[in-house]
Each structure stands twice: as C-alpha cells, then as structure tokens.
Amino acid sequence: MSYTDILNKINKKGCWPVIVVDGVVGVGKTTLMNILCEEFSYQPFLEPVVNNPILDKFYYDRQRYSFSLQIFFLNNRFRMIKEAACLGNAILDRSIYGDLIFAKMLMESGDMSVEEYDLYIDLFQNMIEHCHVPKLMIYLETSVQCAVNKINKRGRDYEKIVETAYWERLNQHYSNYFNDYNISPLLRVNVDNLDFENRPEDRKYVIDLIKDKLSQM
C-alpha cells in the first residue's frame, strides 16, 4: 500500500489553520518552527521527544520497541493536531500526517512485524478520517551526511549509536513520501547549504520562501 493510498481517508473538505515542518531527524525542524513562531506569532507544538519514555529504549532495541513507540507518537500527534486546529495559527514540529513514514520503514526493515504494522495502519486511518489537511506542509530536504553531522553535533547518545544505514533508509522513505504527497500545499526547501539558525541571510531566505508560498494560497 502506497503512502497516497493510506492518506486517502483524510477529510479534504477545507483545511486546518496549521503549518507543519517535517523532515528527517536532525534536519532543523524545531529550529525553523521556533523562527516561524517568532516571525508570525504562531503557537508552537513540539514533537513529543523530551518526555518520551520509549524513544531512547527504541534506539537500543528497535525490534522490541518499534510498535509501542509508533503508537505513542500516533496517539500524541492525534491529540496535538486536534488541539492545534482548535487554537488556529499553529506550527507543528512533525505531525500525524507523516507519522506513517517511520512505521512503514520499520515494517520493511523487519523491526516491526507485518501484523503490528497492519494494526498501526488501521488505527492511523481511523484517526486521519477526523483530520483535515494542513494549511501548508514544509519539507526540509537534506543529504544523509548533513543530517548525520547535525545529529552528532546535537549529541543525543541514543541517536549517535545508530548505524548510517538506518538514516539512509529514513531519508529515502521521506523522499518517497513527499514525492507522493498531494493532500495540501507543499513547500520543499533543501537545507544542505543553509544555516537559518546562525546566518541572518539564510533565515531571511527561508522566511521569504514561506511568505511567498502563503501569499499564493
């Protein structure tokens, strides 16, 4: 089943007033979300990573914790997107729309069983029926090496132990997902040569791209 097939149950009658920033681990999603919240005075919704009781365990034993981690994320992202939609003018660091990227990758790599994946997809599609499309999806593209460099610089021990092949698979799945993505306006930004956290000219470049995209909608 393709990503498009899975997303087909989303309610496309209208959109929710939310912007989503997505991309692989370490690409700069949270940094950009914080910049945009400052620029547009939007409400931020952080990915549930800091107080996640499963995430670090997952990286040390993926087969044992893949399914429980994905259910944790799916449940929390469903709760967050509903809250963000009610508030309006919100920006999310990842969201329910792309949650299935990890689940599909983990199933294909054998870290999640087919039976667990089928159950996950059933839950996902039941939830996505109650969601409208986002106002804008921003996909931060990057090379694997640039992402790994940022992951190592960030210094989370449980991420640093992960083999490069895992990040390569993840990057490929993100590319496949966003090649198929057609449920809302999409802005792709390659960030390999950008440092919008520390360089004002890069920050302005990205903000201008987003403003221009929003003005076209």
Active-site residue set: 93
Locus of tokens 């920033």? 21
Is there a binding annotation on residue 30? Answer: yes
Is there a binding annotation on residue 159? Answer: yes
Residue 140 φ then ψ, to 5°:
-90, 110
Is there a binding annotation on residue 50? Answer: no
What six digits make up the tokens of 216? Answer: 């076209």
Is there a binding annotation on residue 94? Answer: yes
According to DSSP, the residues that pair with 11 across neighbouring strands are: 132
What distance in Å separates the CA atoms of residue 97 and residue 86, rounded to the nearest whole number?
17
Helix (H, G, I), strand (E, B) or coil at 18: strand
Residues in contact with 23: Cβ distance below 8 Å, sequence separation at least 6, in sequence order: 29, 139, 140, 141, 142, 174, 191
Is there a binding annotation on residue 59? Answer: yes
Is there a binding annotation on residue 31? Answer: yes
Is there a binding annotation on residue 211? Answer: no
Is there a binding annotation on residue 195? Answer: yes
Is there a binding annotation on residue 27? Answer: yes
Residues in contact with 28: Cβ distance below 8 Å, sequence separation at least 6, in sequence order: 140, 150, 191, 196, 197
Q: Give the annotated binding-site residues.
A: 23-31, 47, 59, 70, 94, 99, 159, 194-196
Q: Give the annotated binding-site residues for substrate.
A: 47, 59, 70, 94, 99, 159
Q: Give the annotated binding-site residues for ATP.
A: 23-31, 194-196
